[in-house]
Amino acid sequence: MNAANYFKHHVFFCLNQRDDGAACCAAQGAESVFDYMKSQVKALKLNGRDKVRVNRAGCFDRCSEGPLMVIYPEAVWYKYRDNQDIDEIIESHLKQGNIVKRLLA
């Protein structure tokens, strides 16, 4: 592990909610998918130091493209639709190190 990286993968979900009715990740179900990914990562024992951390984030300023997540240190941006997309990201990206090209934002 690189000494500068506490986690192997750090996943950020945009959970921004716009009050003016404009497009935003929260209005597209981001919160429930965030909860799902967090629980799956924990259930699979992928969480913790040298592993994966799933965090909330504010606006990524790409509202019309959402819902979005970004995974560091690779800086890979994903657009997802449902829990099946999250399962694929967990299996391919977090476990195997392969980018899920069909979900790139």
Q: What is the pLDDT along the chain (105 residues), one digit of tens a residue?
A: 456 789 999 999 999 988 887 788 998 999 999 999 999 999 999 999 999 999 999 999 998 898 999 999 999 999 999 999 999 999 999 999 999 999 999
Q: What is the CATH number for 82?
A: 3.40.30.10
Residue 2: inside a domain, yes or no? Answer: no
Residue (of 43, 29, 38) closest to 79 by Cα position: 29
**Whole-model pTM?**
0.91
Task: Report the pLDDT value the prediction gives residue 10, as an integer from 0 to 100.
Answer: 97
Task: Report the pLDDT value the prediction gives residue 2, as an integer from 0 to 100.
Answer: 53
Structural domain for 24, as ranges: 9-103
Residue 57: inside a domain, yes or no? Answer: yes
For residue 7, which amino acid is it? F
Residue 88: inside a domain, yes or no? Answer: yes
As given in the structure block, the two tokens for residue 23 are 């497009």
Residue 92: inside a domain, yes or no? Answer: yes
Residue 3: inside a domain, yes or no? Answer: no
Burial per residue of 40-74, b for 16 or more beta-carbon CB atoms within 10 angstroms, e otherwise: bbeeeebeeeebbbbeebebbeebeebbbbbbeee
Residue 73: inside a domain, yes or no? Answer: yes
Structural domain count of the chain: 1
Measured over the CA atoms of residue 72, residue 14, residue 69 and residue 9, the dihedral's sign is: positive
Residue 1: inside a domain, yes or no? Answer: no
Q: Are 34 and 15 in contact (CB under 8 A)?
A: yes
Task: Report the pLDDT value the prediction gives residue 22, as an integer from 0 to 100.
Answer: 79
